[in-house]
Structure 1
Amino acid sequence: MVKRKSLFWRYGVAVLTVAIALVVTLFLATLIHKESPFMLFFIAILVSAWCGGMGAGLAATALAAILCNYFFLPPQYVLSIASWEQGLRLTIFVLEAICICTAIAILNSARVRAQQSQVAALHCQATLLQSEERFRLLIEGVKDYAIFMLDADGIVASWNAGAARITGYKAREAIGQHYSRFYTYTDIESGIPQQELQTAIAQERLETEGWRIRRDGSRFWANVVTTALKDSSGEIQGFSQVVRDVSDRQRSEELLRQSQERLHLTLEASQIGIWDWNLHTHELKWSLQQEALFDLAPGTFAGTYEAVLDRIYPEDRASFSEAITRALERTGEFEQEFRILSADGNIRWLAGQGKVFYDDADRAIWMTGINRNISEQKQAAARIQAVEREKDFLLKEVHHRVKNNLQMISSLLSLQTNYVSDRQTLEILKSGEARIFSMALVHDLLYRSQSQNFVQINLADYIETLVNNLYSTYDTAKLNCKQVTLKLATEPIWVSIDIAILCGLIINELTTNAMKHAFKKRQFGQICIAVQFEEPQTHNHVILKVSDDGIGLPLELNWQNTKSLGLQIVNILTNQLKGNIELTKKDFGTEFIVRFSI
């Protein structure tokens, strides 16, 4: 419908303007009879072409040519051309009209294009203004970055909110100032601000880091990107700067650097090397200290597992490979001590430790670890073992000599008994001999020990040997008893030499007294000796029991204050043990109980 109205309007204007031109020409026919009748029709054609376009102009031309031929060219009121002159005039009119229409169409097209260009220009301008506004809002809205412009001389030309937050300067304080005011005094004296601008011009973009100064005088570590802004001819127009406060990162990097330096010094001082093994690429990476441990120059390690095996002592290669395989296939942990051959042919001991890492499919992908130089520890351990062997030899020799000396004294006492007829004197000599034997027996057991422990003795073994010797020493036939049996109830208890000797002397005295006095006019008797822990869980307190089933002690006897040398010795020895002793009297026999701590 709109298209029809437009078409009707365009061609309606053509008809109307031609009709008006005809009426006016007819009205002025008397005045322009001798002139060209086409003058006013040119105006109609021009108006039709301007308002209706090329089609309306051509339509007006055709209609005007017909009307001129009918009304103004002889013969009038007949549509015919009487002569060639009239045909030529009409043809010229049509051609001129067509030229006018064409010119008008071209002008209209140019006008439309101009209007369209103007509209497009207005749209671009509006878009540009909107884009600039958005960019301005974006720049001003950035709080974590200082973004500002400098002119060609380094004067601040713009300032965003991020710049104000980071530096403390407001826009009115910063704009118009040279940007070097944000640098340290040392940098300004060194000409660094200007040097950076010159470098930015040469490279078009420069990224630097350094100290900057805030408005309050405090410093911050800044990452700065400076971009040179040039026009189409290459002339510098200014600079843009993007500044970011990376003080936290700089502190973290400094702490990391210090930590790595301390770690490096620690590893170097402790002679620890670090290695990483990529199990996919089979590439091995060594630290410089690791190369030093293997007596390699820095950077000369080949980076392969085979190169490691080549440096390991031949006798240790198999066990080293087995430890690696065990870690990769089963345990995930590597720990091995091995030897390497240094360049000068010396052997160096290393202790290796490592851990295997796996992917999501539980496949070993990485192994990392350390190696420590333990050569000094190995040498120290060897020296300690040598000292221990020497000490053991000396202690064994001491025990042997003490035992021999005591046995010599015991033998002299035994020989002396052959020349003594007095029974009391004989008993005294035999008691002394037994006491000396109990002390000599400790040294003899230590000398014969296979445990290489020369400071402690098994109390159970010692008591068993001691009691058996006492039993064989006393001739039961001379006692008023046909048979005295010994019953032992002991458990392994390791004690020092001093405690063993004291316990041996106590058992010697109590057992000897029982053999001499407990079984008078008896056909048989039994002596029981027991040594055990009072509390099996703690192993700190020991109970020593010596009992018999003989006639017992007289009721009126004060055994703790008696003239009997044996009981006096027992009390003295118990005090030396820092223990206590008690006597339990039974219907038949006695029982002495000694408690002490070890």
Structure 2
Amino acid sequence: MVSLNGSSALIWDAERLRIANDAAGIALWSWNVDTDEIALDERAHGLWAVPKVERAVTFEALSAKIHPEDLGRVREAFTKTRAMVGPYEIDFRILHDEDVVRWISARGESGDTGMVDRVMFGIFMDVTDRKQVEESREILAGEMSHRVKNLFALASAVTGMAARSAATTTEMAEDLTLRLTALGRAHDLVRPVPGEERKALLGDLLYVLLASYNHRGGVGERITVTVPEVRVGETTATTLALVVHELATNSVKYGVLSEAHGTLDVSCTAHDDDVIMLWTERGGPPVSVPHGPEGFGSRLISRSVCGQLGGSIGFDWPVEGVVVTLRMSKARLAR
């Protein structure tokens, strides 16, 4: 065995192993499979928020802290480790308090290899940060997929609108260019030059966002916008644009903007703390209350309005057209 600095002390003695474990954030545990007693080192006690007491910790006691959705899976996995051969790893959530959830990775060697005198040994690691990154990536991938699908749907719908209102290919090209230009203007408005702190008027934002959906490429005939002077900051302009785009895309696919004579009225009222926007559709296909699980787009709108705009969203389904009520925090809109 190699020695450290010429001394007789072995490199991997207990103290140096403890230093390495602390540096890696590794917590140690052992489990007596006959008595169900679990021994935890100091880091493991802190990781599970289990106080040190004279009586032994049991697997059942730790199970009380495992997230209910993961408990059955963890029980089954640990039971199988007695019969399986080789290393194992399982990630699961534990609850510190009602609102604090941590992700734990339990790792060890199963079977006779990982057991001494009926005691199994392994480690715990806090992998919360990694799990949160993975979750963010999954959400981002879902949003990107959803936006790409909506982009194709929008391109198809805009092309169809242009074709329906044009008598010649030249008119269609001009109409389509007008619509795409309006979309580009909306993008410029909600994505200002980096380093600039700009606020847009809510009416201007809604105008450029909805202009390309009107059959003449502007707002004022099929689509009306009536709003007070409310400022929208750079941060929330993108969120609001996403919400409006989702509502308009749904209208193009299923609502009043899918037909030549449907009308859309967007009106707002401003109060001391809130801005209330009514999205009212009339003259489109007959409307019925949707059934089944909520789609990704609906979840995206709800999360955006409630989380980032500090408000709420509600849907009414009269047969003549959907009515959407968005309540948004005036302070959040100005950010």
The two structures have a TM-score, normalised by structure 1, of: 0.25
The structure showing larger relative contact order (alpha-carbon pairs under 8 Å, at least 6 residues apart) is: 2
Structure with the larger helix share: 1
User: Over alpha carbons, which structure has the higher Rg?
Assistant: 1
The two structures have a TM-score, normalised by structure 2, of: 0.41
